[in-house]
């Protein structure tokens, strides 16, 4: 599935112009809700929401737990746009379609992207229900050429060869830990490395052992392409993985993971994730003088 699909600048612009004509909100922060974490969008005040099917160029969500709505609104003094449902490579979307909303957000003036996901833990220190602040990622599809930036570079968004050595903003990671301490949830939070695999199957035991050997703390099926595209166009990025399951590394393990279980942990922890993100957004500094539109 090495997609050659290209999306022109005009197509991103068309979606951005349509949204601008439909809502008075001009978002500074975009939030992507992971599996089972869609209720984050419900916290926005003065909401305007749009079904993905109504937005020019948007793909459709096909996964349970991903509603398929873009919600605009205010959160603790910041204007936000929330993806209630994301797109995954395994749904059959090309990677440039999977990441289509990110460039639309850029054109809307978004400066900061907050990504959330559900992920399986590969290490002893990360338990079900813990929240991992993403420090770095391994983009497995990207390493073998499945990258949303493949194809002619759109210089209006960013450079041909973008650096990825500091894509998860350090200031926001420190802020998240401070907030976690104040909310008394620091005990379930730590930084770690997220790896994206293509999915949709969960890991075999041998794959889990390989990921563990490679230094992966948590594994999932999303996020890295979104972060690559956001970093390429100069956005500040913050990411959280909710640990929904342990990834079995022993042939003696009898537990096996399933999507319903993943969604259930999302529901159980939604309140904590919501409080954390809301408070981080409240304290986050926004550079109002930056005109990010390209
Ligand atoms: O959208 P995210 O990355 O949170 O979803 C994860 C990966 C799969 O889509 C699904 C598996 O249960 O959860
Ligand atoms: N690949 C993968 N994705 C997940 N999403 C939630 N849990 C998991 C997991 O164990 N593996």
203 lines ligand 2 (CB under 6 A): yes
CB 6 within 8 A of CB 96: yes
Active site residue 166: no
pTM listed for this prediction: 0.95
With the C-alpha atoms ordered 40, 167, 211, 217, is the resulting torsion angle positive or negative? negative
Least confident of 61-65, 105-109, 147-151, 261-265: 61-65
Q: What mean pLDDT do residues 273-279 have?
A: 95
Give residue-wise pLDDT tens across range 171-211: 999 999 999 999 999 999 999 999 999 999 999 999 999 99
Active site residue 25: no
Check pLDDT > 80 for residue 145: yes
User: From ligand 1's centre to the CA of 36, what distance in Å?
Assistant: 9
Number of Cβ within 10 Å of residue 21's Cβ equals: 7
User: From ligand 2's centre to the CA of 107, what distance in Å?
Assistant: 31
Ligand 1: which atom is nearest the Cα of residue 223?
3
287 pLDDT band, cuts 50/70/90, is confident
What is the 3 state secondary structure string of 45-91? Answer: EEEEEEEHHHCCCCCCCCCCCCCCEEEEEEECCEEEEEEECCCCHHH
Active site residue 117: no
- Binding residue per annotation — 147? no
pLDDT, residue 1, reads 44
Residue with more model confidence, 256 or 146: 146
Give residue-wise pLDDT tens across range 8-29: 999 999 999 999 999 999 999 9
Please state, in angstroms and rounded to a whole number, the distance separating the CA atoms of residues 195 and 134: 10
Residue with more model confidence, 38 or 49: 49
User: From ligand 1's centre to the CA of 143, what distance in Å?
Assistant: 20
Place of tokens 């900061």: 112
- Binding residue per annotation — 21? no
Place of tokens 């999915």: 199
Among residues of the chain, what percentage have pLDDT more than 90?
87
Report the SS3 class of residue 117: strand
CB 95 within 8 A of CB 5: no
Please state, in angstroms and rounded to a whole number, the distance separating the CA atoms of residues 283 and 275: 12
CB 177 within 8 A of CB 188: no
Check pLDDT > 60 for residue 229: yes
| Residues sharing a CB contact under 8 Å with residue 288, sequence separation 6 or more, in sequence order | none
5 pLDDT band, cuts 50/70/90, is confident
- Binding residue per annotation — 9? no
pLDDT, residue 290, reads 42
CB 68 within 8 A of CB 76: no
Please state, in angstroms and rounded to a whole number, the distance separating the CA atoms of residues 225 and 292: 20
| Residues sharing a CB contact under 8 Å with residue 72, sequence separation 6 or more, in sequence order | 19, 23, 25, 27, 44, 47, 48, 49, 79, 80, 81, 82
Ligand 2: which atom is nearest the Cα of residue 201?
1
pLDDT, residue 288, reads 56
Q: What are phi and psi of 274, to 5 degrees?
A: -60, -45
255 pLDDT band, cuts 50/70/90, is confident
**Domain architecture of the chain: domains with CATH:** 9-250+257-283 (3.40.50.1580)
pLDDT, residue 4, reads 65
Residue with more model confidence, 226 or 67: 226
Q: What mean pLDDT do residues 138-153 have?
A: 97
Least confident of 130-134, 182-186, 196-200, 258-262: 258-262
Q: Which residues of 171-203 are buried (b: 16+ CB within 10 A; e: fewer)?
A: ebeebbeebbeeeebeebbbebbbbbbebeebb
166 pLDDT band, cuts 50/70/90, is very high
- From the list 183, 169, 192, 157, the residue with the least C-alpha distance to 285 is 169
Q: Which residues of 246-263 are buried (b: 16+ CB within 10 A; e: fewer)?
A: bbbbeeeeeeeeebebbb
Give residue-wise pLDDT tens across range 48-71: 999 999 999 999 888 887 789 999
The mean predicted confidence, pLDDT, of the chain is 94
């Amino acid at each position: 599935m090495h997609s050659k699909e290209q999306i022109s600048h005009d197509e991103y612009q068309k979606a951005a112009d349509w949204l601008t004509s439909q809502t008075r909100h001009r978002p500074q922060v975009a939030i992507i809700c992971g599996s089972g974490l869609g209720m984050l969008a419900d916290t926005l005040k003065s909401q305007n929401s749009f079904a993905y099917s109504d937005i020019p160029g948007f793909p459709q969500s096909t996964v349970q737990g991903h509603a398929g709505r873009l919600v605009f609104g205010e959160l603790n003094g910041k204007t936000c746009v929330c993806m209630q449902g994301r797109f995954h490579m395994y749904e059959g979307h090309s990677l440039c379609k999977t990441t289509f909303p990110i460039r639309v957000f850029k054109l809307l003036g978004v400066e900061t992207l907050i990504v959330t996901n559900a992920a399986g833990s590969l290490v002893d220190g990360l338990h079900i229900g813990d929240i991992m602040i993403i420090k770095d990622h391994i983009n497995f599809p990207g390493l073998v050429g499945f990258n949303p930036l493949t194809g002619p570079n759109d210089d209006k968004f960013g450079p041909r060869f973008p650096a990825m050595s500091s894509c998860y903003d350090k200031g926001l990671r420190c802020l998240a830990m401070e907030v976690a301490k104040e909310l008394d949830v620091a005990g379930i939070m730590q930084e770690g490395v997220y790896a994206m695999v293509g999915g949709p199957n969960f890991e075999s035991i041998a794959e889990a052992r390989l990921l563990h050997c490679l230094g992966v703390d948590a594994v999932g099926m999303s996020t890295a392409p979104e972060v690559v595209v956001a970093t390429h166009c100069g956005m500040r990025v913050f990411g959280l993985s909710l640990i929904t399951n342990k990834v079995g590394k022993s042939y003696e393990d009898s537990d096996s993971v399933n999507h319903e279980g993943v969604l259930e942990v999302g529901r159980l922890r939604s309140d904590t994730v919501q409080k954390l993100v809301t408070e981080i957004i409240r304290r986050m500094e926004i550079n109002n003088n930056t005109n990010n539109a390209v």
